[in-house]
Structure 1
Amino acid sequence: MKIALFGATGPTGKYIIEEGLRRGYELSAYTRDTAKLSDYASKIAIVTGDLKDREAIRRNIAGSDAVISALGPNGAKTQEALPVMNGLRNVISAMDELGVRRLVQVSTSSHRDPQDSFDLKAKAMGMLIKLIARGAYDDIKAIGALISGSGLDWTLVRLPFLKDGPANGGPAVGFYGKAKLGMKLSRGNLAKFLFDQVSSREFVRAAPGIADRS
């Protein structure tokens, strides 16, 4: 099975790549800077380009069975509104053209799922992002609307605060206001959950929240 990766050069990227390799998947990773993936050059395919390069995005996805994206606002200064959403629009377009149906994308509590109930901690986290990083908040909301409105078999994986660390038995999973979800998640647990979703149908066209177990 081949998986196309986006956002694999960020802090979570090495966990995602190593989890995929452990599972024996063929991986193709998209990056603007090939040097950032030099440790994996002999183990994965690397496609270089930015999120406006539709042809390079298409090359990264071609032949894949699914796409895993850890793309998200990173605080970088840009004059463009909704840069990640606009990039993901190109990813979705390429998936449609190539007939790739499965998309697993990271998100946050700023995106609401219809199965959510009121959750004070999730609400507060979303408001904090909105207060200190309005551009990122708007981008996250737009990403959720774009993907949930697509015709793909998508899953939006909503995260709390991430920390370095291995998978340790799997995260708590559920919908805000209904499941007991904490405020921290190890990057190893995230990587494991993302790959679990490739073949699972449990959360297709849904946005579960995940967190480390207490």
Structure 2
Amino acid sequence: MKLTVFGATGGIGREVVRQALDAGHEVTAVVRDPARFTVTGERLEVFRADLTDPEALRGAVAGRHAVLSGLGARNRAVAATGIAARLTRPVLSAMDAEGVRRLLVVSAAPLGPVPPGQGVADRAVLAIVNSVLKDVYADLRVMERELAASATDWTSVRPPKLTNKPVTGRYRTVVGGNPPRGRSLARADVAHAMLAMIDDPSTVKQGVGVAY
């Protein structure tokens, strides 16, 4: 497949690019600063662009089978600017202009429903996390509303706490919900899950919880 990856210099984006190349896909990695991008490969195109300009992004998505995005805030201060929603809008516009429909993005588990049977301790931790990271989740909620209003065949992948452990390929997914007692997931396995969902029709126009 021909894939485009936004947020390719981030932890999840880099993993998406690496794993996609290893799987034999052709990958376009969209970056603002190529000097920060160290992944190489024969089937890799590094596309430098202003991420706020839909016209500048059209060449990055034209003719692609799917677009995968790891765009989002890396800290609370950046989240307060609404960066995930703000940078996803030009991607949606570029995809619409080029007739590209499949889009997978990274969101977060707290945007999904609380799983049945979730323990009191887990609920308490979730309440604390929601309070501390409220700006991050508010930004992601706006992004998800705009996905739902778009013409794309979107999937919002919602992991819990992220780690830098190696890929395992062993995790749980719940379409429209969250795995019970799902407390963490490696960025590498988030990337693995996103790539696995590209051709899964059950995930289209859905939030999907993913966790160990």
TM-score (normalised: structure 2): 0.86
8 A contact 2:31–2:46 mirrored in 1: yes
Kindly state the Cα deviation for residue 14 of structure 1 after the two structures are TM-superposed. Answer: 2.6
Q: Closer, same or farther in 2 for the Cα pair 1:126/1:84, shift >3 Å?
A: farther
- Which string of whole-angstrom CA distances, capped at 9 and with x for unpartnered residues, describes residues 7-55 of structure 1? 1111223321111011111100111110122342755111112321222
Runs of 4+ in structure 1 deviating by more than 3 angstroms, as ranges, are 76-81, 115-130, 175-179
For residues 13 and 79 of structure 1, the distance between their equivalents in structure 2, rounded to whole angstroms, comes to 18
**Count of aligned positions:** 211
- Which string of whole-angstrom CA distances, capped at 9 and with x for unpartnered residues, describes residues 173-195 of structure 1? 11577743421112222111111
Q: Secondary structure at the match of 1:166?
A: coil
How large is the RMSD of aligned CA atoms in angstroms?
2.7
Q: Does 1:18 align with 2:11?
A: no
Give the equivalent residue in structure 2 for 1:98. Answer: 98
- Percent identity over the alignment? 29
Q: Once structures 1 and 2 are overlaid, which stretch shifts more, 78-87 or 95-104?
A: 78-87
For residues 125 and 42 of structure 1, the distance between their equivalents in structure 2, rounded to whole angstroms, comes to 45
Q: Once structures 1 and 2 are overlaid, which stretch shifts more, 59-68 or 165-174?
A: 165-174
Give the equivalent residue in structure 2 for 1:145. Answer: 145
Unpaired runs of at least 5, structure 1: none
Kindly state the Cα deviation for residue 200 of structure 1 after the two structures are TM-superposed. Answer: 1.3
For residues 116 and 126 of structure 2, the distance between their equivalents in structure 1, rounded to whole angstroms, comes to 14
- Aligned partner letter, 1:88: T
Task: Give the alignment of 1:5-154 within 5 angstroms.
Answer: 5-40=5-40, 43-75=43-75, 77=77, 81-112=81-112, 119=118, 127-154=127-154
For residues 196 and 38 of structure 2, the distance between their equivalents in structure 1, rounded to whole angstroms, comes to 26
TM-score (normalised: structure 1): 0.85
Q: Secondary structure at the match of 1:50?
A: coil
Q: Once structures 1 and 2 are overlaid, which stretch shifts more, 100-109 or 12-21?
A: 12-21
For residues 72 and 65 of structure 2, the distance between their equivalents in structure 1, rounded to whole angstroms, comes to 22
